[in-house]
Amino acid sequence: MNKLVIEGAELLYQVRLTASKPQACLVLLHGVGGNETNVNAIAELVDPRILVVMPRGPIVLSAQAKQFGWFPVTFLSTGPVIDADAAEKSRLGLIKFTQQIQDLYHVDHRHTVIAGFSQGGIMSASVALTQPKIVTGFGILSGRILPEINSQIRDIASLKHLNGFIAHGEYDSKLPVSWANRSDEMLSDLGVPHLTKIYPINHEISPDMLNDFLVWLYEHALPAE
């Protein structure tokens, strides 16, 4: 495991290196209750020209079971309730982490994408929409956009260079598909170019979802040939 110091703490991460100087970077985030190994299978399918960095969430849910997260969340009948302070701390930490990765591996922000599954997708949107100058795009795979970041979205003009990818299961039992619809509407209102895809699945990543994400990733992360 590699590690970087983020706000006085060590943020552990795995990396899928490229054979030569990386042409792009994908910061790939796991969901709540998982860890960086959960997205290894995705990383192995990514074009070898792209550096894939997989950080571990700073919230320890179970050290023995190696379960981590980006913020605590409770699912109620009225919807998910989050620890907003923890989510904010993770947002700030991921912003610094992404910039450090870019410096360490010499990758330009214009070819950096941040994406993730579930809570990882939530954090990806939080980073990109509040600090759009450090990435070119973001992917929300079975996640949502936190209403709590609305006050952090100030420079609307700087969002126009971003590209978003929203993918969600029609039968998602953890985060209903209505969250994807809300994200789609929000990005449209903000003027952020994006692609929204709905799949006949539950709270998961299907082969079709992954394939569509990779096609989108290559279009927006890799330099034009």
Domain-by-domain residue ranges, the chain?
2-221
* Overall size of the chain counted in residues: 225
For 168-197, write each residue's pLDDT tens digit: 999 999 999 999 999 999 999 999 999 999
**What would the mean pLDDT of 123-130 be, rounded to a whole number?**
98
> Rounded to an integer, what distance in angstroms lies between the CA atom of residue 132 and that of residue 127?
7
> Rounded to an integer, what distance in angstroms lies between the CA atom of residue 44 and that of residue 52?
9
Question: Domain 2-221: what homologous superfamily?
Answer: Alpha/Beta hydrolase fold, catalytic domain (3.40.50.1820)
Radius of gyration of the chain (CA): 16
At 225 the pLDDT is: 67
CA atoms within 13 A on the CB side of 133: 6
Work out the pLDDT band at 10, boundaries 50, 70, 90. confident
For 134-168, write each residue's pLDDT tens digit: 999 999 999 999 999 999 997 888 899 999 999 99
Through-space distance between the first and last CA atoms of the chain, rounded to whole angstroms: 34
Strand locations in 77-158 (E): 79-82, 112-117, 137-141
What percentage of residues in the chain have a pLDDT greater than 90?
83
